[in-house]
Amino acid sequence: MKKLVLAAAVLAMTAGSAMSADMYVKAKAPPPAPFDPWDLAFGAAVMNDYVFRGITQSNHKPSVAVYFEPRYNVTKDLQLYAGIAGESISFPNRAAAEIDFYAGIRPTFGIFAFDFGAWGYLYPGGQCFNAAAFPGSGIPGSDAQCVLNGNLPLNGNVAKKNASFFEVYGKVNIAVTDQFTIGVNEYYSPNFLNLGAWGNYASITGKWTAPSTTFGSSGVGMYVSGEFGRQWLGTSDAFYGVVSPLANYAAGIPEPSYNTWNIGIGFTYKVFTLDIRYSDTDLSKASCNAFTSDHTTTNFNPAFVTAINPGGFGSNWCGATGIVKLSADLTAASNLK
């Protein structure tokens, strides 16, 4: 009798084990989360100075910025994007703001993250300042507004009503390690700032990101980054031409090419970034004035008189400056779920 009971127990255990195994094999795994290729990035920033390639765009005054960027992920390694951005500025033509439109493609191959696209810089609400550029004068950029705004700044600098332009670009970031990346950037415009001169900008960048454990479990991150670049420029059109005993540049001045660099440290917390940066260029005050047409400078010095800057005024728009920027950057996929 005991043997019969023991056999029955073993049979039941064996059947139960087989049933459990069979149920495990046949159980369906939960379906994978559907892949949504669409995403949206957006954000805003406030800074004490809006600096673009080493030169202030806000007359060393505070500036605000916003952007909105829809994205489409063809695959996890290929993204299409387009965007619109805006910044507050202080330009020689008194433009109301900078409005940017851009679009491109971001392919990734292992440690190489590429970015190719085009960027349009629009400056609506500008005015023309050049008493000589009246309709029929033959000077590029001439319009009726130039006559109305013949009251030039005291420094004599001139500015076109339209400073808008576009660039095409190619960039690559290389993840050397999990914490260190380097980058190479190239931008080209056939008519930089509508000066009539082509522009070519190339730079190298580096960024080191601190380990996530640097500040314990606080959620605070940190990075150190820098850039060195060179802006090459061609010859302007006759709107910016000058004639003086030093040279005859009636057809346009050779715009000054220059080097620029910046280095800074940043702190991140959730969607916020605080970036503290030093920026500078090797442009002299005289060359800076000739290039930017700074409408605010009253800095006259006979030492600033050059072939392209015969008025002798010098601008500090291209000199050393410190930038403090607080920004917030979000994506729909990560922050709006």
**Dihedral Cα 275, 276, 280, 285, nearest 10 deg:** 110
Cβ of 266: how many Cβ atoms within 10 Å? 18
Mark 270-291 as b/e (b = at least 16 C-beta within 10 Å).
eeebebebebbbebbbbbbbbb
Torsion angles phi and psi, residue 291, rounded to 5: -75, -45
Are 201 and 232 in contact, with CB atoms under 8 Å apart?
yes
Answer yes or no: is pLDDT of 26 > 70: no
Beta bridge partners of 300: 313
Answer yes or no: is pLDDT of 330 > 80: yes
Domain boundaries, the chain: 34-335
Chain centroid offset of residue 8 CA? 77
Q: How far is CA 245 from CA 235, 293, 311, in A?
A: 19, 21, 12
pLDDT digits (tens, 9 = 90+) for 156-175: 999 999 999 999 999 999 99
Percent of the chain with pLDDT over 70: 90
- In this prediction, residue 148 carries a pLDDT of 87
Mean pLDDT of the 308-335 span: 97
Answer yes or no: is pLDDT of 22 > 80: no
- C-alpha closest to that of 122 among 194, 50, 48: 194
Highest mean pLDDT among 150-154, 211-215, 242-246, 317-321: 317-321
In one-letter notation, the amino acid at residue 164 is S
Are 289 and 313 in contact, with CB atoms under 8 Å apart?
yes
Which residues, 6+ apart, have CB-to-CB distance to 263 below 8 Å? Answer: 224, 225, 226, 227, 277, 278
Residue 30's pLDDT band, with cuts at 50, 70 and 90, is low
Are 65 and 47 in contact, with CB atoms under 8 Å apart?
yes
Answer yes or no: is pLDDT of 76 > 90: yes
Answer yes or no: is pLDDT of 225 > 50: yes
Residue 112: strand, helix, or coil: strand
Which residues, 6+ apart, have CB-to-CB distance to 129 below 8 Å? Answer: 92, 93, 146, 149, 152, 153, 157, 158, 159, 295
Mean pLDDT for the chain overall: 92
Q: What CATH class does 34-335 carry?
A: mainly beta
Which residues, 6+ apart, have CB-to-CB distance to 169 below 8 Å? Answer: 104, 115, 116, 117, 118, 119, 185, 186, 187, 188
- In this prediction, residue 33 carries a pLDDT of 61
Tell me the three-class secondary structure of 159-210, residue by residue: ECCCCCEEEEEEEEEEECCCCEEEEEEEEEECCHHHCCCCEEEEEEEEEEEC
- In this prediction, residue 9 carries a pLDDT of 43
- In this prediction, residue 27 carries a pLDDT of 55
Answer yes or no: is pLDDT of 63 > 90: yes
- In this prediction, residue 238 carries a pLDDT of 97
Tokens of 101: 């439109």
pLDDT digits (tens, 9 = 90+) for 272-305: 999 999 999 999 999 999 999 999 999 999 999 9
Percent of the chain with pLDDT over 90: 85
Answer yes or no: is pLDDT of 226 > 90: yes
End-to-end CA distance of the chain: 65
Is this model's pTM higher than 0.85 or not?
yes
pLDDT digits (tens, 9 = 90+) for 91-141: 999 999 999 999 999 999 999 999 999 999 999 999 999 999 999 999 999
